[in-house]
Amino acid sequence: MRLDPNHPRPTLQRPSWRDLEGTWDFALSEAERPEGVSFDRRIRVPFPPEAPGSGVGEPWVRVAWYRKVLRVKPRPGFRLFLRFGAVDYRAEVFLNGAKVLEHEGGHTPFALELTPFLGKPLEVLVRAEDDPLDPEKPRGKQAMGEPGGIFYPRTTGIWQPVWLEWVPESHIASLRLRPDLEALGFYLEVQAQGEGDAVEVALFPGVRGEAPMGEKPWLEARFPLSDGLARGFLGLPLRGEAGALLWRPENPVLFPLRLRLLGGRRVLDEAYSYGGLREVSAQQGVFLLNREPYFPKLVLDQGLWPEGHLAPPGLEALRRDILLAKALGFNGVRKHQKLEDPRYLHLADRHGLLVFAEMPSFFRFSPKAFRRYLAELLAALERDHNHPSLVAWVLFNESWGLWPWGPEARSFLQGVFFLARSLDPTRLLVDNDGFEHGPFWDLYTVHDYAPPEVLARRYGQGAVPLAPMGRPLSWEGLPPGVRPFLSEFGGLRLQGSTLGWGYREVEGEEAFLQEVLRYLGAVCESFLSGFCYTQLYDTFQEENGLLDFWRRPKVPPERVRAFLEGCEARRGLWE
């Protein structure tokens, strides 16, 4: 068994899935019911209709209709599910004209069972409603109106994989892993549906990259089911140095898992997953990986493509972005204002890349916005829990949706922090990235687009400016001894003939490279606990990437990488 990097749910896989990407019937109609909708177009799923890759190319979409006719025969003893990775923003699904499901949330998955409808052609209709002017939904950097500044063309409708999955009547529904360095193993919870009295878990030797599972498991353990839930601990057999078993960017060791649902001696279901043994924490703002200080060298990645907007052109596009970030010498990314496709996280697990995942923002403070935000946050925490590469959650960015501050907004920020901490204590939390931090946070992040010499002066002497971009960094002041994390800086543009923009401009490729290195030198020789350079590639009109929008380098990657590899040596004064 080889774990499939193209599987839409990489942390709980079965081979019995079928990709439904490709051509669907399509209509632009604000009708609320399918009667009278004329499917007069075709669309390439999962590209959104605003994006060139869809074949539609409509810049302003409020409601989109999709149609697919499925011809699937029943399989005795199995159930068939139709699964959606993400549909922006509100989805209604109709089967043979009858509405069977509603889902709200543009970045999180949902599913419905098709088993009762099999045996004859099944018409699947999806109505996707995405109000372009709604400020109360988590929309991230999708423009309200014409794109401009830091806001980009919109993504409506299906933009992540759509797929069919056969599962046995009795099956494994979910897996939750919690690594434990002290005990050198994984605590696990397995939820099952239907019959079954135990779950058998086989752990295979750690592998890197895309190696298949070994022929023999390292160990097998059996955990009894009680009310459909199995809990237990899976300890690793120590062979050699324990450090060699730990996941980190330089050594992304993953342990393949085989899970079997047992009913007596019968195997009722079999699924596959993996785990990475790693721990993250923070002390006084310093990032600790596996209980050792670690210096995150991140680059901002907005997860946008010319042909697909939020939708990647395919698996290789996701892989390429990870390999390009590593080729430039970065050990992580901040995924900005987007919950990325889980396949990206799977590839980051395999290739060794830290990921700071960021919730997309809403832009008007209201109870409705709260409910929508919390629903997507809870779904994201559940979906992505088992990825070792995901080391931090960024809950809010630059007070978007929270400003101007009042007692309700402050209470909401603190409540979200503690909710996320209770549901996922294994990751760091950034409460409000950039400035105006509340009293609770793990990393004290700062946004500062000053020139390199100003950054060197501000962060090279052990003192933190109170408001580098005109907004106070904290409600209550910085506690003594805390090291800040510069989570946005740079923004340099290579001057050209286009109408794009950057925070600063230089002319000529060599001058651009030298100025990039000056920025990186300023943060490497500082007392910062880490940094995130803006940005990996241009995004539409924002042309401040190290690569252009088509991922062509503006700088020699090997020169930036060589510079960043010497970053820790330059930091010797502060360690």
Render pLDDT for 283-294 as a digit per residue (tens, 0 to 9).
Answer: 999 999 999 999
On whether both 36 and 151 belong to a single domain, the answer is yes
In the structure encoding, which two tokens stand for residue 90, read together? 């509100």
- Residue 207's pLDDT band (boundaries 50, 70, 90)? confident
- Residue 61 within a domain: yes
CB 537 within 8 Å of CB 545:
yes
List, for residues 291-348, the tens digit of each pLDDT value.
Answer: 999 999 999 999 999 999 999 999 999 999 999 999 999 999 999 999 999 999 999 9
Q: How far apart are CA 108 and CA 373, in angstroms?
A: 11
Q: What percent of the chain has pLDDT over 70?
A: 97
Sheet holding 286-289, edge to edge: 280-283, 286-289, 292-293
Sheet holding 484-490, edge to edge: 428-430, 390-394, 354-358, 332-335, 297-301, 530-534, 484-490, 444-447
Give me the number of domains the chain comprises.
Answer: 3
On whether both 257 and 298 belong to a single domain, the answer is no
On whether both 264 and 320 belong to a single domain, the answer is no
Q: How far apart are CA 522 and CA 459, in angstroms?
A: 8
The pLDDT of residue 336 is 97
- Residue 281 within a domain: no
Whether residue 240 is predicted with pLDDT greater than 70 in this model: the reply is no
The pLDDT of residue 497 is 66
On whether both 335 and 203 belong to a single domain, the answer is no
On whether both 387 and 336 belong to a single domain, the answer is yes
Q: What is the CATH number of the domain that holds 212?
A: 2.60.40.10
Q: Return the minimum-mean-pLDDT range out of 172-176, 326-330, 477-481, 491-495.
A: 477-481
- Residue 11 within a domain: no
On whether both 65 and 91 belong to a single domain, the answer is yes
List, for residues 19-52, the tens digit of each pLDDT value.
Answer: 999 999 999 999 999 998 999 999 999 999 999 9
Q: Which residue has the tokens 């510079």?
A: 563
Q: How far apart are CA 336 and CA 434, in angstroms?
A: 12
On whether both 245 and 295 belong to a single domain, the answer is no
In the structure encoding, which two tokens stand for residue 291, read together? 């209980």
On whether both 343 and 207 belong to a single domain, the answer is no
- Residue 17 within a domain: no
On whether both 453 and 475 belong to a single domain, the answer is yes
The pLDDT of residue 426 is 95
On whether both 301 and 263 belong to a single domain, the answer is no
Beta bridge partners of 278: none
Residue 243 burial (CB < 10 Å; 0-12/13-18/19+)? exposed
On whether both 324 and 262 belong to a single domain, the answer is no
Whether residue 278 is predicted with pLDDT greater than 70 in this model: the reply is yes
The pLDDT of residue 499 is 80
Distance in Å from the first CA to the final CA of the chain:
44
- Select from 275, 300, 322 the last residue of a domain: 275
CB 231 within 8 Å of CB 189:
yes
Q: How far apart are CA 142 and CA 119, in angstroms?
A: 41
In the structure encoding, which two tokens stand for residue 395, read together? 């809950």
In the structure encoding, which two tokens stand for residue 121, read together? 């052609």
- Residue 2 within a domain: no
Task: Name the pairing type of β-strands 41-45 and 22-28.
Answer: antiparallel
Q: What is the CATH number of the domain that holds 95?
A: 2.60.120.260
The CB-based long-range contact list for 303-306 (8 Å cut-off, 24+ gap) reads 303/335, 303/336, 303/338, 303/340, 303/344, 304/152, 304/539, 304/540, 305/549, 306/52, 306/549, 306/550
Beta bridge partners of 17: 165
Q: In a 3-state reduction of DSSP, which class is residue 178?
A: strand
Print burial letters for 16-31: b (CB count within 10 Å at least 16), e (below 16): ebeebbeebbbbbbee
Q: In a 3-state reduction of DSSP, which class is residue 190?
A: strand
Task: State the amino acid at position 531 in one-letter form.
Answer: F
- Residue 1 within a domain: no
185, 445, 490 from 23: Cα distances, Å: 45, 44, 41
77 Cβ contact list (under 8 Å, min separation 6): 168, 169
List, for residues 99-125, the tens digit of each pLDDT value.
Answer: 999 999 999 999 999 999 998 999 999
The pLDDT of residue 466 is 84
- Residue 130 within a domain: yes
In the structure encoding, which two tokens stand for residue 88, read together? 């922006």
In the structure encoding, which two tokens stand for residue 465, read together? 């400016």
On whether both 335 and 470 belong to a single domain, the answer is yes
Q: How far apart are CA 387 and CA 354, in angstroms?
A: 10
Task: State the amino acid at position 351 in one-letter form.
Answer: H
Q: Which residue has the tokens 């670690």?
A: 294
Whether residue 211 is predicted with pLDDT greater than 60 in this model: the reply is no
In the structure encoding, which two tokens stand for residue 446, read together? 């700062």
In this structure, the number of other CB atoms found within 10 A of the CB of residue 499 comes to: 7
DSSP 516: H
Q: Which residue has the tokens 């730990």?
A: 246
Comparing CA positions, the residue from 3, 1, 58 lying closest to residue 26 is: 58
Q: Return the minimum-mean-pLDDT range out of 84-93, 237-246, 497-506.
A: 237-246
Residue 87 burial (CB < 10 Å; 0-12/13-18/19+)? buried
- Residue 531 within a domain: yes
The pLDDT of residue 573 is 42
112 Cβ contact list (under 8 Å, min separation 6): 81, 82, 93, 100, 101
DSSP string, 440-486: --SSEEEE----HHHHHHHHSSS---S-TTSS-SBSS-PPTTPPEEE
CB 396 within 8 Å of CB 411:
no
Beta bridge partners of 126: 66, 93
The pLDDT of residue 574 is 44
What residues make up the domain containing 474? 288-570
Q: What is the CATH number of the domain that holds 470?
A: 3.20.20.80
Q: How far apart are CA 290 and CA 234, in angstroms?
A: 19
DSSP string, 356-404: EEEPPPPSS-SHHHHHHHHHHHHHHHHHTTT-TTEEEEE--BTTTTTPS
Comparing CA positions, the residue from 270, 276, 316, 387 lying closest to residue 9 is: 387
- Select from 104, 128, 160 the last residue of a domain: 160
- Residue 256's pLDDT band (boundaries 50, 70, 90)? very high
Whether residue 538 is predicted with pLDDT greater than 70 in this model: the reply is yes
CB 301 within 8 Å of CB 538:
no
List, for residues 163-182, the tens digit of each pLDDT value.
Answer: 999 999 999 999 999 999 99
